[in-house]
Structure 1
Amino acid sequence: MTMTREDVLHVLGPVDDHLIVEILATGATREELEEAYAWLHANDVLGPQLRRQPTGKVAELCEILEGEEEEPDRM
């Protein structure tokens, strides 16, 4: 199902409109955004040890969200 602006706000909380547009442009689903958010905020040490990394849309969303964390004034 196509993700909406409201879906992005539900998962991430208040964020800049630029970020919302960038996320929606990926064509990802809300579930993929939730997974990307979980990847970035997990305290899981096994992921890196197992060399398991996100792929596809989830990886794309992780890159977008990581870029925003480096520029917190835009969120």
Structure 2
Amino acid sequence: MTHDEILSVLGPVDDELVADLMATGASGEELREAWNWLHNDEALMGQGRPLPGSRVAELIDLLEADDEEA
């Protein structure tokens, strides 16, 4: 996942979060999935989507921690 992919999904974020997200080795698609789970979990479960995998869950944890700091 690239810096530009992260910004296209999340908008402006600090460089530390960008580095943490890139260090996971996740793809841009996994980041989009994590963002969707974080903001629409009830809708995704209602669609019968499986719970996020371990890498997506790691991204969710990083994004949640960043939201709590903001």
Settle same-fold status: TM greater than 0.5.
Answer: yes
Residue equivalent to 2:39: 41
Matches within 5 A, 1:1-75: 3-42=1-40, 44=42, 47=45, 53-72=51-70
Q: Distance in 2 between matches of 1:37 and 1:59?
A: 10
Q: Could you tell me the TM-score, scaled by structure 1's length?
A: 0.81
Tell me the CA shift for residue 66 of structure 1: 0.5
Larger Rg: 1
Residues 16-50 of structure 1 show CA distances to partners (whole Å, capped at 9, x for unaligned) of 000000000000000000000000000626739x8
SS at 1:44 equivalent: helix
Q: Distance in 2 between matches of 1:35 and 1:6?
A: 17
Query: Where does structure 1 lack aligned partners over 5 or more consecutive residues?
Result: none
Higher helix share: 2
Aligned residues: 68
Query: Where does structure 2 lack aligned partners over 5 or more consecutive residues?
Result: none
The one-letter code matched in structure 2 to 1:32 is E
Do the aligned residues in 1 keep the contact of 2:37 with 2:44 (CA within 8 Å)? no
Q: Distance in 2 between matches of 1:13 and 1:63?
A: 18
Write out the 4+ residue segments of structure 1 that deviate beyond 4 Å after TM superposition: none
Q: Could you tell me the TM-score, scaled by structure 2's length?
A: 0.86
